Amino acid sequence: MIEIARGMLCEELTYFYIDEITKHGFVIDPGARGEQLAAYAKEKGYVIEKILLTHGHGDHIYGADALRKATGASIVMHKEGKNYVNNPDWNLSVMLCGEKIEFEADEYLEHGDEIVLNANADFKLRMIYVPGHTTDGVAYYSEEEHLIFVGDIIFAGSVGRSDLPGGNSVKLLNGIREEIFTLPGETVILAGHGPQTTVEQEKNTNPVFNLFDE
């Protein structure tokens, strides 16, 4: 079960990824309004076990600490994310959020690590590391449900920018080719901004990769 909350900083999207059987689940990228996201979860009877961050930019992490405090959930991100959540110069929080963000995640993971729901071991996501928009960029993939939460790695019809601290366009495009485009075509891509798409759709039509085809 996936529900989408729209933030207010940069029209960023927060995803509730909830197990229908146990009503336990994960929140991906609580960009803004941590208290409201917690209140929504409470109203719906959801137990948020973990807050998963796709990367450490302010518009994806702004509500994380408040949501953690309100729910008791732990914050998970890639190990390179330490350089962002602790560092306003890299998380761009003053520019994006109007104030400094500094906190610590609870778990810093690596490529290939699985994030498993305590209440249901069949409900899980795998961390896939794709740096280039940031040095800590990851996607969270469900092979069983054919979906992937990608943050700002790739969008419908474009890719994340690579001109911010830690950005690298070669790494980003290679990472998308090697880690995203090799997934089954029907895999639904859920990005941090904009409409959902699929692996097949982006492989065939994303202009960043198809510009020189004709």
Q: How far is CA 189 from CA 21, 34, 70, 108, 167, in A?
A: 23, 24, 29, 23, 21
Candidates 11-19, 151-159, 181-189, 199-207: pick the segment binding Zn ion (CB under 5 A).
Answer: 151-159
Rank residues 136 and 152 by Cβ distance to Zn ion and give the closer one.
Answer: 152
Task: Work out the angle at residue 139's Cα, subtended by the Cα atoms of residues 138 and 145, and round it to the nearest 5 degrees.
Answer: 160
Place of tokens 């794709």: 130
Q: Out of 49, 65, 80, 152, which residue is the one contacting Zn ion (CB under 5 A)?
A: 152
Binding to Zn ion by residue 57, rule CB under 5 A?
yes
Note whether 41 and 32 are within 8 A (CB). Answer: no
- State in angstroms the smallest separation of the CB of 59 from Zn ion: 7
Structure tokens given for 202 = 């982006």
- State in angstroms the smallest separation of the CB of 113 from Zn ion: 21
The beta-carbon contacts of 99-106 under 8 Å, at least 24 apart in sequence, are: 101/58, 101/61, 101/62, 101/65, 103/64, 103/65, 103/75, 105/53, 105/75, 105/76, 105/77, 105/81, 106/68, 106/74, 106/75, 106/76
- State in angstroms the smallest separation of the CB of 57 from Zn ion: 3
Contact string 190-209 vs Zn ion (x = CB under 5 A) = --------------------
Rank residues 91 and 198 by Cβ distance to Zn ion and give the closer one.
Answer: 91
Candidates 56-64, 137-145, 177-185, 199-207: pick the segment binding Zn ion (CB under 5 A).
Answer: 56-64
- State in angstroms the smallest separation of the CB of 138 from Zn ion: 12
* The residue type at 153: I
Residues from 7 through 36 that contact Zn ion (CB under 5 A): none
Q: Which residues, including other chains, have CB under 8 Å from residue 26's CB and lie 6 or more apart? A: 16, 17, 18, 48, 49, 50, 51, 52, 115, 117, 125, 140
How many residues contact Zn ion, by CB under 5 A?
2
C-beta nearest to Zn ion: residue: 57
- State in angstroms the smallest separation of the CB of 193 from Zn ion: 9
Candidates 3-11, 29-37, 149-157, 199-207: pick the segment binding Zn ion (CB under 5 A).
Answer: 149-157
Rank residues 41 and 130 by Cβ distance to Zn ion and give the closer one.
Answer: 130
Residues that bind Zn ion (CB under 5 A): 57, 152
